[in-house]
Amino acid sequence: MAYSALMRVMVEAARKAGRSLSRDFGEVQNLQVSMKGPGDYVSQADRKAEEIIFTELSRARPGYSFLMEERGVVEGDDAQHRWIVDPLDGTTNFLHGIPIFAVSIALERQGQLQAALVYNPAMDELYTAERGGGAFMNDRRLRVAGRTKLTDSVIGTGIPHLGRGHHGNALIELRNVMGEVSGIRRMGAAALDLAYVAAGRLDGFWESGLSPWDMAAGLLLVREAGGFASDREGGQEMFDTGTVVAGNETIHRVLLRQLRKPLSPRPA
């Protein structure tokens, strides 16, 4: 499909990083892996992909600021624009040979998301969106699913693990949702979860403990596909709270209500 000049820059950076990730994915057992924290890995592949993206975007748009998973904040001369980048969302999947991982790139202008890209090189699925221009997967226009009942819906989530998140709250939320839906899915890559909501593969998604680079691109994809995304309280403080709830208008509203419910007593 024909991309804007801005999106061409993003696509070229993502595809170049994706080729590097694909090569390393084919030799995943040989990667040098270090520990960032309990259950949280950073790999040589992750660093290489981030370096590629940083170099490509800096060359194409000099002066733009960055917020990146590995480098953190990189201040540029242009305070109006900021790239938000996760070079490898789904690192644990990647290191275990599971082909559910992605490059995620978003561009903010004056604090508003303007462009988004999520790319899974293992499946060659490229999700793109620009503000006001709709969302696409490769050449196909995306729309969120039209289901309006939780009982018919498949909902994605993230489940806390060693060193990540508050297990008690997550278990309460999971118990309140799982008994009301057709299925729960835990993919292990929030950027792709949100892209799947945009594509109608998942009817909704919620997760806590996320960073801006985990969700920035996915938020715009969902909105440009006709969906709704908010923090867990229904507001727009996702980056500050680290929480996100997404779906079509009805599922988003019902899912928010379900997540706020107190823990129901166990049946006798």
Residue 236: pLDDT band with limits 50, 70, 90: very high
- Binding residue numbers: 69, 86, 88-89, 214
Average pLDDT over residues 138-151: 97
Question: Which of residues 157 and 263 earns the better pLDDT score?
Answer: 157
Q: What's the confidence (pLDDT) of residue 268?
A: 47
Mean pLDDT of the chain, nearest integer: 92
Q: Give CA–CA dist 44/177, Å, rounded.
A: 37
> What is the pLDDT confidence band of residue 170, given thresholds at 50, 70 and 90?
confident
Domains of the chain (ranges; CATH) run: 5-141 (3.30.540.10), 150-260 (3.40.190.80)
Enter the pTM of the model. 0.93
Q: Does position 165 have pLDDT exceeding 60, yes or no? A: no
Residue with tokens 């303007």: 114
Per-residue pLDDT, 30: 76
**191 neighbors 218 (Cβ within 8 angstroms):** yes
Mean pLDDT of 153-174: 82
If you average pLDDT over residues 83-104, what whole number do you get? 95
Q: Binding site residues for Mg(2+), as ranges?
A: 69, 86, 88-89, 214
The yes-or-no verdict on residue 184 having pLDDT over 70 is yes
Look up tokens 């390393």; give the residue.
Answer: 24
pLDDT, residue 137, reads 98
